């Protein structure tokens, strides 16, 4: 008998034994010994993958998805002329070099990334780096459809899911059958496989004792990866990572940390609590201290209500408050109408009306105003937003205008005017009428 063959048999036997022991242990582990297992699932190149299902002929090519609706509409034309989508010839797809406008890249395929283009880069800049790249407009309704589909697959298997946006979720594996086996790998594999069967899309999963670590773990093996992180993996697998890998540490915090000589999570873990609080404040300092040690006891948020609803738009060219008054006014009214429509469609009313504008130099300001009554009415929003606009300097040219409604409340048949203890303002008492009628009813 060939020795390699023997090795192979021994190895198989050993693997089977280990597996049997693992299964035996998980079957016989009492409920109280269950370990908290939280998964983070992240779709692989979500938008691009959805587009490739539609246009398989683009597979392997440099493709960029992005641009503003307006500018992209002009380019989508060639895509509508023909027969089945998968038969559209490559020459009929719009090219990045033909784009003019202020859009940014939302997603780029790996082939496109080779040229140095990537998310958030301006399309005009990207066009210089990779003019031949194909450009597809962003199609949110389509992505939302796929988003719903993959989330439905998950909740069918594991009901405790936290929605983290269009392509990400957290899942509580702790009490789901298979959720404890191999640290969660068995369940992760089942979910991955079922999502692929049902949608044709792939995803990566990280399973860990909490959300913080699960989020980092899901990035370890992209694409189509599964990573299992246990408490004891902290020093080997988490500490070598850059602090920026912690969800919540962005570019600013990273720069400050680097200024203090802290690059990795391990560096961060060397600092004591008082030092971190001195430098970053009570709350952030204490949070960083825990995060560096892999501690995170946040529960999954299974349902939530929106806090605000807004619409904003960047103009194709900068506009002046006086010179482009008519155009700005029309855009402003349209934004208010859109926000009102969104509120009504989703069944909310709001009390705080706000505007946002961004000047040509990219500096932004906001103004808001809280009304005495909840509203979802376009005219009311337009009036209040108009008052906000008057409180803002308008000498400089504008590049963006936005309208926001906050302090939301679910719209019901009779809770509409549920203003909390309408304050009797000086103006109201001076006129007398408003105050007395409020008291009468």
Partner DNA sequence: TCTGGGGTCCTAGGACCC
The distance of closest approach from Cβ of residue 399 to DNA in the complex, given in angstroms and rounded to an integer, is 7
Pattern 20-59, binding to DNA, x per CB under 7 A? ----------------------------------------
Residue 167 in contact with DNA, rule: CB under 7 A? yes
Strand bridging mode 38-43 / 168-172: antiparallel
Is 247 or 396 the residue whose CB approaches DNA more closely? 247
Q: One of 162, 168, 303, 312 is an active-site residue; which one? A: 168
Q: Which of 34, 54, 95, 102 binds DNA (CB under 7 A)?
A: 102
The distance of closest approach from Cβ of residue 78 to DNA in the complex, given in angstroms and rounded to an integer, is 19
240 Cβ partners below 8 Å, 6+ apart? 264, 265, 266
CA distance 423 to 436: 12
Is 22 or 258 the residue whose CB approaches DNA more closely? 258
Instruction: Tell me how many residues contact DNA (CB under 7 A).
Output: 62
Is 127 or 158 the residue whose CB approaches DNA more closely? 127
Residue 270 in contact with DNA, rule: CB under 7 A? no
Residue 434 in contact with DNA, rule: CB under 7 A? no
Is 382 or 399 the residue whose CB approaches DNA more closely? 399
In the annotation, is 168 catalytic? yes
- Phi and psi dihedrals of 242, rounded to 5? -65, 145
Residue 1's Cα: distance from chain center in Å? 58
For 284-309, give the DSSP string. Answer: HHHHHHHHHTT---PPP------SEE
Stretch that binds DNA, among 189-197, 204-212, 263-271, 312-320 (CB under 7 A): 312-320
Give yes or no for a contact between 369 and 431, defined as CB atoms under 8 angstroms apart: no
Stretch that binds DNA, among 205-213, 225-233, 242-250, 290-298 (CB under 7 A): 242-250
The distance of closest approach from Cβ of residue 93 to DNA in the complex, given in angstroms and rounded to an integer, is 19
Is 135 or 186 the residue whose CB approaches DNA more closely? 135
Is residue 193 classed exposed, middle or buried when 0-12, 13-18 and 19+ CB atoms within 10 A define those classes?
Answer: exposed
Give yes or no for a contact between 349 and 411, defined as CB atoms under 8 angstroms apart: yes
Taken as a whole, the chain contains a residue count of 441
Sign of CA dihedral 86, 89, 92, 98: positive
Give yes or no for a contact between 83 and 33, defined as CB atoms under 8 angstroms apart: no
Q: Which of 153, 354, 374, 385 binds DNA (CB under 7 A)?
A: 354
- CB-side neighbour CA atoms (13 Å) of 337: 6
Stretch that binds DNA, among 16-24, 81-89, 241-249, 433-441 (CB under 7 A): 241-249
Is 223 or 248 the residue whose CB approaches DNA more closely? 248
Is 178 or 294 the residue whose CB approaches DNA more closely? 294
Q: Which of 211, 271, 311, 382 binds DNA (CB under 7 A)?
A: 311
Residue 365 in contact with DNA, rule: CB under 7 A? yes
Spell out the SS3 assignment of 65-124. Answer: EECCHHHHHHHHHHHHHCCCHHHCCHHHCCEHHHCCCCCEEEEECHHHHCCCCCCCCEHH
Helices (H) and strands (E) in the chain, counts: 16, 13
Catalytic machinery residues? 168
Which positions touch DNA (CB under 7 A)?
Answer: 68, 100, 102-104, 106, 119-120, 122, 124-125, 127-128, 164-168, 215, 246-254, 281-284, 304, 306-314, 342, 351-352, 354, 361-362, 364-370, 388, 391, 399-400, 402, 407, 420
């Amino acid at each position: 008998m060939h020795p390699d063959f023997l090795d192979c048999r021994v190895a198989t036997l050993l693997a089977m034994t280990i597996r049997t022991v693992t299964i035996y242990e998980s079957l016989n582990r009492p409920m109280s010994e269950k370990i908290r297992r939280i998964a983070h699932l992240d779709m692989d190149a979500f938008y691009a993958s959805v587009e490739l299902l539609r246009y398989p002929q683009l597979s392997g090519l440099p493709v960029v998805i992005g641009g503003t609706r307006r500018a992209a509409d002009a380019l989508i034309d060639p895509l509508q002329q023909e027969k089945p989508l998968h038969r559209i010839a490559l020459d009929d797809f719009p090219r990045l070099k033909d784009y003019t406008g202020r859009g940014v890249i939302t997603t780029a395929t790996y082939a496109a990334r080779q040229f140095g283009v990537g998310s958030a880069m301006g399309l005009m800049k990207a066009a210089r780096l990779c003019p031949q790249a194909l450009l597809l407009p962003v199609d949110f309704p389509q992505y939302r459809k796929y988003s719903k589909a993959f989330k439905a697959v998950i909740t069918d298997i594991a009901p405790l899911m936290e929605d983290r946006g269009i392509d990400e979720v957290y899942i509580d594996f702790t009490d789901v059958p298979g959720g404890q086996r191999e640290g969660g790998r068995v369940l992760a594999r089942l979910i991955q496989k079922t999502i692929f069967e049902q949608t044709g899309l792939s995803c990566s999963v990280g399973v860990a004792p909490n959300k913080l670590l699960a989020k980092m773990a899901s990035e370890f093996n992209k694409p189509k990866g599964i990573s299992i992180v246990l408490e004891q993996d902290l020093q080997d697998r988490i500490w070598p990572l850059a602090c920026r890998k912690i969800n919540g540490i962005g570019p600013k915090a990273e720069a400050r940390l680097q200024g203090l000589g802290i690059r990795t999570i391990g560096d961060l873990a060397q600092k004591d609590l008082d030092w971190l609080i001195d430098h970053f404040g009570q709350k952030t300092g204490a949070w960083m201290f825990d995060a560096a040690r892999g501690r995170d006891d946040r529960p999954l948020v299974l349902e939530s209500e929106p806090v605000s609803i807004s619409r904003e738009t960047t103009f194709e060219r900068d506009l002046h408050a006086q010179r482009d008054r008519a155009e700005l006014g029309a855009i402003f009214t349209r934004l208010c109408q859109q926000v009102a429509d969104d509120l009504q469609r989703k069944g909310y009313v709001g009390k705080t009306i706000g505007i946002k504008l961004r000047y040509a130099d990219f500096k932004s300001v906001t103004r808001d105003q809280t009304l005495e009554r909840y509203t979802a009415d376009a005219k009311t929003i337009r009036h209040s937003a108009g008052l906000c606009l008057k409180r803002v300097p308008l000498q400089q040219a504008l590049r963006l205008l936005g309208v926001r409604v906050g302090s939301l409340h679910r719209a019901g048949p009779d809770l509409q005017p549920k203003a909390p203890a309408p304050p009797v303002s000086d103006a109201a008492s001076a006129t007398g009428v408003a105050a007395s009628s409020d008291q009468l009813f």
